[in-house]
């Protein structure tokens, strides 16, 4: 399991602080997107938009929180498959 998989597990389990602490240790574009999703979940839209920008994602045309999580999970699965 990658660190980003663990962040997702923490997010789904409601362990916001653990997820946030772990995602900050990864400087990838995927991590920036997930970091933005975490801020969305917290209701911190200003920081969420900042992290979406770092991830080269369009913040203002994003989907719902659940849609963003699903899209992220698909992207992470694809990235993980490509690295195998």
DSSP code per residue over 29-57: HHHHHHHHHHHHHHT-HHHHHHHHHHTT-
Q: What are the residue boundaries of the structural domains of the chain, listed by start?
A: 3-83
Q: In whole angstroms, give the CA distance from residue 41 to residue 47.
A: 11
For the entire predicted model, the pTM comes to 0.93
Per mean pLDDT, which range of 1-5, 18-22, 66-70 is the poorest? Answer: 1-5
Q: What is the pLDDT of residue 65?
A: 94
Which tens digit of pLDDT belongs to each residue from 24-63?
Answer: 999 999 999 999 999 999 999 999 999 999 999 999 999 9
């Amino acid at each position: 399991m990658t660190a980003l998989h663990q962040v997702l597990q923490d997010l789904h389990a409601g362990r916001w602080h653990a997820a946030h602490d772990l995602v900050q240790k990864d400087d990838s574009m995927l991590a920036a997107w997930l970091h933005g999703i975490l801020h969305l979940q917290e209701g911190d839209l200003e920081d969420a938009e900042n992290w979406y920008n770092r991830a080269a994602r369009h913040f203002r045309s994003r989907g719902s929180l659940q849609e963003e999580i699903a899209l992220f999970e698909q992207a992470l699965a694809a990235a993980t498959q490509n690295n195998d």
